[in-house]
Amino acid sequence: MESKGTRIGVVVRVRPFLNKELKSGCTNDRIEVNSDDKTITVFSDQKQQKRFEFDEVFDESISQEVLYNQLKLDNLIKKVIEGYNATIFAYGPTGSGKTYTMEGYDYDKNLKPVLRDELKLGLIPRLVKNLFEEIKKAPKHIEYTVYCTYIQIYKENIYDLLNPAQIKPPGLKLRWNQQEEFYVENLFMHPCYSANEVLNHYNSGLKNRITSSHNANTTSSRSHSLLTLNIEAMDSETGSILTSRLQLVDLAGSEKVSQTGNEGSALKESIEINKALFTLRQVISTLASMRDGEASFVPYRDSKLTSLLKPSIGGNSYCLMIACIAPLDSFFDDNLSTLAYATKAACISNEPIKNIDPKTKVIKELRKEVKRLNFELKLA
């Protein structure tokens, strides 16, 4: 049976103070997390308070492993294996812990991603491992292939992080396919048969992400990265093929970029950088304010990011938003804005559907037709 009207899951994670912040005497007087109630309260200077409630709220003590387990991501992986699409995206200002949550690697002197501490592994490597563990448990007559792609969107250009020839402008084009979905043309899709194969590609993509930028920190906080695992399951007994997609997204920092003193090309640049997030917020706001059955124009096509996330937000995928915030005073406005959009996203319903390869559908219809004709022959 198809599940209908599944809300986008929304959780909040508050990152801890970093050592340098503790040394400079930072304290948290503004954010109060109540994980049991699943609420977060934010206090302003005037001691006014705003309370938000989400599916889960994680405080600074939550480890990467506990986060993974509490989000029950093994259940999501099972859904993906069954043929459903799923998306997880991290949203929040720069420095709030999005990349730590999704990725969890450190970098050595040569900017090569290294894992110094297993415990720090982010959601992406854990999901990849979990996916292949589930594949191993599947019946022998189902053959799985996982195709991995990894792109970066920066200033409305799409770069293929798994193809060194495509990490410079102008980047790749977005196209529209027969299933009425946007896709990136000429993207490298690497077939993978183990978690290590995926993670090796992912690591080389991470390295390309950094070497492709003049200023690594600025570009990575202003660009969006999308790692996609396309899963194909072929049943050798029935010939049917199930395809599904797991999309893991580390968004650019959602902070308000000051436009003071920004003129000419600098202003154009900041508008372009913000276009995707601006459109994402418009998409979220429009969908959140739509009533059941109401048709409204949703501006997905206004940015490459929202075009690619169309099935994930208000579409046919399962979706989880991880809103990240930091306990510093300087993050106050951006934290509030993040929590406000997270609240809106939690009102959006998706309708997850099981993907069946179009060829499988045709085979099924032909079999039905053969049955019908056989029946008619018998009657004749």
Asked if residue 324 binds ligand ADP (CB under 6 A), the reply is: yes
Picked from ligand ADP, Mg ion, none, the partner binding residue 100 (CB below 5 to 8 A depending on kind) is: ligand ADP
Among 9, 83, 92, 327, binds ligand ADP (CB under 6 A): 92
Cβ proximity to Mg ion: between 98 and 126 the closer is 98
Instruction: Restricting to residues 204-223, name those near ligand ADP by CB under 6 A.
Output: 221
- Please state whether the peptide bond connecting residue 169 to the residue before it is cis, i.e. omega within 30 degrees of 0: no
Confirm whether residue 83 is marked as ligand binding.
Answer: no
The reply, when asked if residue 97 is annotated as ligand binding, is yes
CA distance 24 to 35: 28
Which residues 6+ apart lie within 8 Å of 369 measured at CB? Answer: none
Question: Which 326-365 residues touch ligand ADP, going by CB under 6 A?
Answer: none
Among Mg ion, ligand ADP, none, the one that 16 touches (CB under a kind-dependent 5 to 8 A) is ligand ADP
Residue 286: its H or E element: helix 264-289
Cβ at position 59, least distance to ligand ADP in Å = 10
Q: Are 10 and 342 in contact (CB under 8 A)?
A: yes
Residues that bind Mg ion (CB under 5 A): 98-99
Whether 55 contacts 346, CB under 8 Å: yes
Q: Indicate which single residue of 33, 76, 80, 94 sits in contact with ligand ADP (rule: CB under 6 A).
A: 94
Nearest to 241 by CA among 249, 229, 233, 251: 233
Is 93 marked as a binding-site residue? yes
* Total length of the chain: 380
Tokens of 120: 């720090």
Minimum CB distance to ligand ADP, residue 332 (Å):
16
Q: Is 99 annotated as a binding residue?
A: yes
Measured from the CB atom, is 59 or 255 closer to Mg ion?
A: 255
Q: Is residue 20 a known part of a binding site?
A: no
Applying CB under 6 A, does 100 fall inside the site for ligand ADP? yes
Distance (Å, whole) CA 282 – CA 277: 8
Q: How many Å from the N-terminal Cα to the C-terminal Cα in the chain?
A: 36
The 10 Å Cβ neighbour count of residue 79 is: 19
Angle at 19 between CA 17 and CA 24, to 5 degrees: 85
Is residue 18 within the footprint of ligand ADP (CB under 6 A)? Answer: yes
Residue labelled with tokens 């706001």:
285
Among 87, 96, 219, 243, binds ligand ADP (CB under 6 A): 96
Question: Residue 164 binds which entry of Mg ion, ligand ADP, none, with Cβ cut-offs from 5 to 8 Å by kind?
Answer: none
Give the residue, chosen from 253, 311, 327, 352, that forms a contact with ligand ADP under the rule CB under 6 A: 253
CB of 251 to ligand ADP, least distance (A): 9
Asked if 123 is part of the footprint of ligand ADP (rule: CB under 6 A), the reply reads no
| CA 95 – CA 222 distance, rounded (Å) | 12
Distance separating alpha carbons of residues 343 and 323, to the nearest angstrom: 10
Q: Per the annotation, does 95 bind a ligand?
A: yes
Q: Is 152 in the site for ligand ADP (CB under 6 A)?
A: no
* 126 scored as a contact of ligand ADP (CB under 6 A): no
Closest CA to 345 of 76, 81, 90, 102: 90
The CA-atom distances, in angstroms, between 162 and each of 169, 173, 212 are 15, 16, 12
Select from ligand ADP, Mg ion, none the partner in contact with residue 311, using the beta carbon and a kind-dependent cut-off of 5 to 8 Å. none
Could you tell me the smallest distance in angstroms from the CB atom of residue 99 to Mg ion?
A: 3
Q: Which positions make up the binding site for ATP?
A: 92-99
Q: Which residues bind ligand ADP (CB under 6 A)?
A: 15-16, 18, 92, 94-100, 221, 253, 324
* Residues of each annotated binding site: 92-99
